Each structure stands twice: as structure tokens, then as C-alpha cells.
Amino acid sequence: MYPLMCGLMSALCFVAAVLFLRAYRRTRDRLFAIFAIAFPILGLSQLYLGIFNQPEVDYPPAYIPRLLTFALILIAIVDKNRGVRRRTLRLVQRSQETAAQRQERQRDAV
């Protein structure tokens, strides 16, 4: 039963990776690209454990790919939120400009 569950989880990880890759191609958002990289790592780890019928409890190094996967996901989320904060700051700064400053900036650009 354990190999079957590992195979199922591995297949679902690869399906998720394909869906994230499609989303990345459509939006060009790095969050989706990093998720598309992280899920196959998790899927390969589960596939290895299922093929050799080796539960994680008996094989502690099996947690290393999970650690890598979750670290990638965390990096992607932090990267996404950092970019949102910068864009929001720029929007607030621009909204505080006066009309005269905007006209002056446009004249300088031309």
C-alpha cells in the first residue's frame, strides 16, 4: 500500500508542476516558475521512496528533498511579497506628487 500512495503523490506533484509551468508561461511570474521547479523535486523524492518501499521513518535523508522544496517555496513567497511592497511604495510616492511636479517630470523626459 505504501508504494501505491507514494506513486500517487509523486504523480500529483508532477501534475502540479505542469500546471505551475503553464501558469508561468502565461503570466511570466517568478512565483509560478519556482513552484514548477519545487514540485518535481518533491515528486522525485516520493517516487524514490515508493520504488524502494522505504518509509521516511526508516530513512531520515528522505527529508532533505522536502527541506529543499519547502525552502524554495518560502523563497518564492518572500520574493513575491517583496516585489509587491516595492510597487506599492512607488504608487504611493507617485500619488503624492503634485500636478506641477508631474508636468515638470514629463517635460524633462521629452
pLDDT in tens, 44-103: 999 999 999 888 888 888 899 999 999 999 999 998 888 766 666 666 666 666 666 777
* Proportion of the chain in helix, strand, coil states, percent, rounded to 5: 90, 0, 10
Tell me the pTM: 0.70
Residue 54: the pLDDT is 84
- Say what the pLDDT of residue 91 is: 65
Cα 77 vs. chain centroid, distance in angstroms?
Answer: 6
Rounded to 10 deg, the angle between the 63-96 and 30-51 helix axes is 170
Per-residue pLDDT, 106: 79
Cα–Cα distance measured from residue 52 to residue 94, given in angstroms and rounded to the nearest whole number: 59
pLDDT of residue 6: 92
Average pLDDT over residues 20-36: 94
Confidence (pLDDT) at 40: 96
Binned at pLDDT 50, 70 and 90, residue 5 comes out as very high
What pLDDT is stored for residue 97 in this prediction? 63
